[in-house]
Structure 1
Amino acid sequence: MSDLNSITANARVKNPKVRRVVGRIFGWSALALLAVGIVDQAIGAFDVSAELGAASTIVVGLFGLWQLVVTDPNVPN
C-alpha cells in the first residue's frame, strides 16, 4: 500500500490527506452549527436564527457536494 493514489484512481482530489481534512472540516462545522442551534433554542436571549439558517445552508450544501463529488466516487463497490 505504498501508493494511495492507485487505490483511488478516480479521485477528483488526489491527495488523501486533503480529502480527509476537508471532510473533517465540513463534518465538525455541521456539528458546531447543530450545537449553536440547540443553544439558540434553549436560551431566549441568544438569538442567531437568521445567521444560523444561512450558515447551515452553506455548510450542508458544500458538505453534500463534497460527499457526492469527492467521497462517493472513492468508495469501493
Structure 2
Amino acid sequence: MTEAHVVVYCDMCGDVYTENTGESICFDTVAQAVDYIQARAAGVGWIYDGDRIWCDGCIAADHCDRTGQH
C-alpha cells in the first residue's frame, strides 16, 4: 500500500511550514493544505497568493526589494 501526503514548502526559499513542534504537517490533498494556509498560517506570516505559497521571511524580503527598504 502506498500513501501520499502533502507538505507545505515556501515556493521561494524551500522552507517547510511547521508549527509549535517544529515538524511539518502532513495534509491529505493540496486543496486541504492551501485551505489550511489561508485560514491558519496567515496569522504567522505565510500566505498563498493564488499561485505560490510564501513564508514570512520571503514576504518581508520581497517587500523590501519592491519598496527599496532594507
TM over 0.5: no
Q: Identify the TM-score tier after normalising by the shorter chain.
A: under 0.3
Q: Which of these two proteins has the greater Rg computed from alpha carbons?
A: 1
- Structure in which a larger fraction of residues adopt helix: 1
